[in-house]
Structure 1
């Protein structure tokens, strides 16, 4: 039983590591989400713990659609109450994680996924594992994304 739990934790850590590093390099000095304004679209995933099954499922879905994720200039933020929180592969301290929870009205035991637009505004909120095709459809319906797509097809 203990070995099984340890193997699960190792697998989870690997998923988080792969997802956070494979989704692109950290932005220089990105201490605030405002540093991404007009450049990237943060997808913030809030969970009680790093081992929450909904978080693990969400990270797996993001990794499975990595090209679509990157093509839409997205950056991943994982904010957990217990464990290490990251934004764009960079660890954020507990104070910053709590500030994000407070800013977006997310309780310590809640699971929620927020899409933040390049303008810094909240564009979508779901309280379960997100359907990423629906998230991508929201982005694709944005005027700024329409301009991006008209500049040429993405790599996906």
Structure 2
């Protein structure tokens, strides 16, 4: 039986995607409207490109943080993290700069190189 007051363990939630999805984690305050809009917009505009790279977007904004048990490595930090298939942090930034190069960063990863060789899907 679950209760709506139970918190989600963020690290366990991220690990539930291991070896299936790469994760983009956004943790920020509601006052950072620019970062929120840029990140949300990136995921809307680049849906196909993100899908073929197996990107999962976890968005924790403002009071949403109270719904999670936050691991020490994310506690009291704001920004965007790229988390690999292995659950390890690959990149972190406090602004939207990661979004400009995220596809290139992922495409240089060894597993992504194999995926690209085997993948037929293209985005137009």
Q: TM-score, normalised by structure 1?
A: 0.63
Q: Residues 102-141 of structure 1 correspond to what in structure 2 (within 5 A)? A: 102-107=71-76, 111-141=78-108
How many aligned positions are there?
112
What are the within-5 Å matches in structure 2 for residues 1-156 of structure 1?
32-49=13-30, 52-82=33-63, 84=64, 94-96=66-68, 99-100=69-70, 102-107=71-76, 111-156=78-123
Q: What SS does the corresponding residue of 1:146 show, helix, strand or coil?
A: helix
Structure 1 residue 50 displacement after superposition: 7.5
Q: 5+ residue gaps in structure 1?
A: 1-30, 86-93
More helix, by proportion: 1
Runs (4 or more) in structure 1 with deviation over 3 Å come to none
CA RMSD in angstroms, aligned pairs only: 2.1
1:70-99 deviation digits (Å, cap 9, x = unpaired): 1100000011232x46xxxxxxxx242xx3
Q: Displacement of 1:144 after TM fit?
A: 0.5
8 Å CA contact 2:92, 2:98 repeated in 1:
no
Which structure would you say has the larger RCO, counting Cα contacts within 8 Å and 6 or more residues apart? 2
In 1, Cα distance between equivalents of 2:120 and 2:75: 36
In structure 2, the CA distance between the partners of 1:51 and 1:131, relative to structure 1 (3 Å rule), is closer
Could you tell me which runs of 5 or more consecutive residues in structure 2 were left unpaired when the two chains were aligned.
1-11
